[in-house]
Structure 1
Amino acid sequence: LWVRYLFFSLSLLIYVTIISANLVIVLSVCLETSLHQPMYVFICCLCLNSLYGSTGFFPRFLMDLLSDTHFISCPFCFIQMYITNTCLGHELSLLTVMAYDRFVAICQALHYHRKMTFRTVLLLLILAVLYPAWAFGYFFYQAIILPLCGNQLHKIFCTTWSIINLSCVDTTVISIVGQFVAMISIFIPLSFVLYTYLRILLVCRRSSSEFRGKALQTCLPHIVTFGNYCISLLCEFSLTMYNVDEVNTFSVVLSLEFWIIPPIINPLVYGLNLPQIRGVISGLLNVGKRLRPV
């Protein structure tokens, strides 16, 4: 019993840390007018997506840690499934948009303010939200209308593939088409990100050391975030290919990676590495100290 409460306490601490760290970045960008620039707006949206995904996962996970019976109703399972998939998709879309922003800022610096206008930023954010909804919408609809013959999920949260595996009918076509669309939806943005950084590297190679240092300072957080996402994606695909017949330590670790590592690492990387955000956070903390009652 004490092990259950230990895991609950650790999970609650992680959840509170995720909420706090991402909220600090969001509030810093929203309250500080000097951060109302495309790069920081995209960072803010990335942190909002972490809050969105964590809120869709952790409350139910914490309840399951304290419960002897692990049941979830179909509507709540479908909601969790939708949040899980769209959170993954939004993360990829935002990372792609951020890569484009850095590409324009470094490779087309003279045209940056003309290209990255408020209208362009708003359009990119709308596309980042709608793209995952389009890519996932059809299979989400197919999953919720499938007749189900089983009720035991072999994962710690609801996913599209876990629901499809419970179906009474043959889902071979849906699975093949779904995997193909998923690969295309992931391959195109990831290829674009790699292409932009190849171009950035070529520009930095021909530039001065001072220019390379500034470019690295702004690109390093995105590279770390992108690396975290690729690791999370690899874990998710590994878990899907593993086809576990029961929830075990291996599947739990792979499942938790996306919900713990990126939401904690991302705000820390941006908050510590970018001096503009670090300065605003320091200012907010100093104001809090001055307002603290004696």
Structure 2
Amino acid sequence: MIAGNATQFSHFTLSGYLDTGNLKYLFFTIVLSLYVVIVFSNLLLIVLICMNRSLHEPMYLFLCSLFVNELYGSTGLFPHLLAQILSDIHTISTTLCFLQIFSLFSYGNVQYFTIAIMSYDRYLAICHPLQYNTRMTLSKVTMLIVLTWLYPSIAVCVMISLSAPLQLCGNIINKVYCDNYSVVKLACSDTSVNNIYGLIYTFITIMGLLILICYTYIKILKICSSGSKQTRQKALSTCAPHLASLLNFSFGCIFEIVQSRFNMNSVPSILRIFLSTYFLTCQPLFNPLVYGLNISKLRDVCKSLLFRKLLSIVT
């Protein structure tokens, strides 16, 4: 049943922004610097993997996909965020709002899919090393990467197609970016289909990937506990970055879910903004650092290229 004051709005108001006065220029500088570091670090590792044949292995190709996704997700947030920080009117058109929803939700889903597939890759490498090359072929790697991008994109398109036609009784989103759940909460029309789709997707896809991740790491831990010291060290060196990335991303997603679903008015506004953007800002900054420093082969290629560059400058 649609309420009498339901309507379609041409724009949304983002009420999560604070009135910071002249401090907005300081915040703009900090956020811009963060975005530049994210773009530079992820782009550097993408180029590094693409340009070095020694890194054309499944694990590094999955990493390359991960870094590309982080550039994509950051670009879905930061340019608009920077413009809004300097603006006194925090509005976004309906079209741009749903485009941002698509960008940020597909980023989050691709991130989760990629982490899950990387855990499967490490499971094969550690638990079935003799069969690894035959089971993780280039064609299979390509198929998995395409799947990690295609399936979430289709799923998010379906989600938006259910949300966009809703009749709304308001247009104020209490965040600094557009969020599908926040839009659905504004609806006066029936949202049962949206809720059912969200539950089905969560239990079938998200829970399915979580089971895959748990299964692979339990198997890896069993191999480590019964293997030699060298086996444990090798497994730890390759799996530690993946686990750190998974925990960091999960931490950010939990923050976002709690902030969206529960009343957080008692929490300071600046902390709410930080929690809601954590998985969009800290994850793209965290991954290049943790993978670049902890994966020896990637680290050695970085050192080699840096040494050659310094040598060419000196000579």
Q: Is the structural similarity TM-score above 0.5? A: yes
Q: 1:293 to 1:66 in 2, by over 3 A?
A: farther
Partner in structure 1 of residue 309 of structure 2: 288
Partner in structure 2 of residue 196 of structure 1: 216
1:185 CA displacement: 2.2
Alignment match of 1:261 (pick from 282, 288, 304):
282
Aligned-pair Cα RMSD in Å: 1.9
1:293 CA displacement: 8.9
Q: Is the 8 A contact 2:123 2:216 kept in 1?
A: yes
Q: Is the 8 A contact 1:8 1:65 kept in 2?
A: yes
Q: Is the 8 A contact 2:49 2:60 kept in 1?
A: yes
Q: Give the whole-Å Cα distance in 1 for the aligned partners of 2:153 and 2:280.
A: 20
Corresponding position: 1:170 with 2:194: no
Worse overlay, 230-239 or 45-54: 230-239
SS of the equivalent of 2:172 reads coil
Q: Is the 8 A contact 1:154 1:244 kept in 2?
A: no
Q: How does 1:39-118 map to 2 (within 5 A)?
A: 39-118=59-138
SS of the equivalent of 2:177 reads coil
1:17-54 CA-to-partner distances (Å, cap 9, x unmatched) read: 11111111111100110000000000111111100000
Corresponding position: 1:14 with 2:34: yes
Q: Give the whole-Å Cα distance in 1 for the aligned partners of 2:260 and 2:50.
A: 38
Q: 1:106 to 1:165 in 2, by over 3 A?
A: same
Q: Is the 8 A contact 2:256 2:277 kept in 1?
A: no
Partner in structure 1 of residue 22 of structure 2: 2
Q: 1:58 to 1:207 in 2, by over 3 A?
A: same
Q: Give the whole-Å Cα distance in 2 for the aligned partners of 1:57 and 1:148.
A: 24
Partner in structure 2 of residue 272 of structure 1: 293
Q: Give the whole-Å Cα distance in 1 for the aligned partners of 2:197 and 2:186.
A: 18
1:167 CA displacement: 2.1
Q: How does 1:140-151 map to 2 (within 5 A)?
A: 140-151=160-171
SS of the equivalent of 1:145 reads coil
Q: Give the whole-Å Cα distance in 2 for the aligned partners of 1:35 and 1:113.
A: 15
Q: Is the 8 A contact 1:135 1:185 kept in 2?
A: no
1:291 CA displacement: 4.8
Q: Give the whole-Å Cα distance in 2 for the aligned partners of 1:292 and 1:73.
A: 50
SS of the equivalent of 2:222 reads helix
1:170 CA displacement: 2.5
Q: Is the 8 A contact 2:293 2:299 kept in 1?
A: yes
The structure with the greater share of residues assigned to helix is 1
Q: Is the 8 A contact 1:229 1:262 kept in 2?
A: yes
- Matched residue type, 1:259: L
Partner in structure 2 of residue 232 of structure 1: 252
Q: Give the whole-Å Cα distance in 2 for the aligned partners of 1:254 and 1:172.
A: 28
Q: Give the whole-Å Cα distance in 2 for the aligned partners of 1:177 and 1:42.
A: 29
Q: Give the whole-Å Cα distance in 2 for the aligned partners of 1:284 and 1:166.
A: 53
Q: Give the whole-Å Cα distance in 1 for the aligned partners of 2:137 and 2:201.
A: 32
Q: How does 1:205-220 map to 2 (within 5 A)?
A: 205-220=225-240
Worse overlay, 141-150 or 88-97: 141-150
1:173 CA displacement: 4.2
Q: Give the whole-Å Cα distance in 1 for the aligned partners of 2:37 and 2:55.
A: 23
1:250 CA displacement: 3.6
Percent identical residues = 37
Q: Is the 8 A contact 2:123 2:220 kept in 1?
A: yes
TM-score of the pair, normalised by structure 1: 0.94
- Matched residue type, 2:223: V
Partner in structure 1 of residue 47 of structure 2: 27
1:206 CA displacement: 1.3
Structure 1 unaligned residues grouped into runs of 5+: none
SS of the equivalent of 1:72 reads strand
- Matched residue type, 1:272: L
- Matched residue type, 2:84: D
Structure 2 unaligned residues grouped into runs of 5+: 1-20
SS of the equivalent of 1:93 reads helix
1:244 CA displacement: 5.5
1:199 CA displacement: 0.4
1:217-276 CA-to-partner distances (Å, cap 9, x unmatched) read: 111110101111110121121112125679933421211211221111111111011111
1:59-96 CA-to-partner distances (Å, cap 9, x unmatched) read: 00011110101111111111100011100100010011
SS of the equivalent of 1:150 reads coil
Q: Give the whole-Å Cα distance in 2 for the aligned partners of 1:176 and 1:231.
A: 25
Corresponding position: 1:155 with 2:175: yes
- Matched residue type, 1:237: I
- Matched residue type, 2:302: I
Q: Is the 8 A contact 1:93 1:131 kept in 2?
A: no
